[in-house]
Amino acid sequence: MKKIDIIHGPNLNLLGSRETEIYGTESLESINSYVNSAAEEYGIAFDFFQSNHEGQIIDRIHSAENNVDGVVINPAAFTHYSIAIRDAIAAIKTPVVEVHLTDISQREAFRKISVSADVCVDQICGFGKNSYFFGVEALVGHWAVNRIRTENSSTPDNDKLLRSVVEILHESFPKYDWTGIYLVDGDALVLHNFQGAPSPHTRIPIGQGICGAAVAEEESIIVPDVNADPRYLACSIETKSEIVVPIYSGKNIIGEIDIDSHRPDVFHKHDQKFLEQVAAVIGEKWK
């Protein structure tokens, strides 16, 4: 079982009573309980820690090296000036995600600065208690990318590589109900392999559907509600949301990662970020 340390910085022990117009009315204990509940299906064990003292937070980060598989940290005020916490994060090999309840980019000028974000694998801000849960998902994505790299380190053939990617992605995220890869074939996309229910769309003209649009527009697409998007080509009445990420080899798009979920609005920027990293791994190893 994977283990994650959730580290809360100074003054977060006062959540629920502190500046509720900014930070909301949920207590720290409530947020911890929410993370445990929301992430239950991932089978991860959590340790929660809060301190108002910089040195204690640094010691906790140091201890992560041999005790946990990842860290989600809200450094709070230390975000903006603690080089010591930044250096502690940089000193360990354990991946760390920085999170904030509020969107610090929209706060006071001094709060827009994070001295630690660049040594973290991701920074997630502005989603309230979901920032912590999304931080957990960002770590799961980071682990998936590393596993894809490790299991394909010998540069396997393209077919084995693509099947490995789909298998790892599908089993890493319970919210991924259909996971597949399409490859460009002339002016169409052809389904290479998938996990989930069979799809009636094994060949999609480029420019049609959300899949075809991602290639035509040369960009990742997140659709929170497929039934509200006229581009959607119905695959299943259960599908509620979708994310499509193009795969580049050099400057050319060779295919795309396509993921459907039976849950509405479950794909966010952290999903896009790590899936684009997966696509980059495919592009690097493509032959």
The 3-state secondary structure of the chain, one letter per residue: CCEEEEEECCCHHHCCCCCHHHHCCCCHHHHHHHHHHHCHHHCCEEEEEECCCHHHHHHHHHHHHHHCCEEEEECHHHHHCCHHHHHHHHHCCCCEEEEECCCHHHCCHHHHCCCCHHHCCEEEECCCCHHHHHHHHHHHHHHHHHHHHHHCCCCCCHHHHHHHHHHHHHHHCCCCCEEEEEEEECCEEEEEEEECCCCCCCEEECCCHHHHHHHHHCCCEEECCHHHCCCCCCCCCCCCEEEEEEEEECCEEEEEEEEEECCCCCCCHHHHHHHHHHHHHHHHHCC
Nearest to 216 by CA among 206, 225, 203: 206
| 80 belongs to the catalytic site | no
Find the catalytic residue in 8, 100, 170, 270: 100
Burial (CB count <10 Å: 0-12, 13-18, 19+), residue 43:
exposed
| 100 belongs to the catalytic site | yes
Nearest to 152 by CA among 142, 165, 141, 139: 165
Question: Which residues are known catalytic residues?
Answer: 23, 100
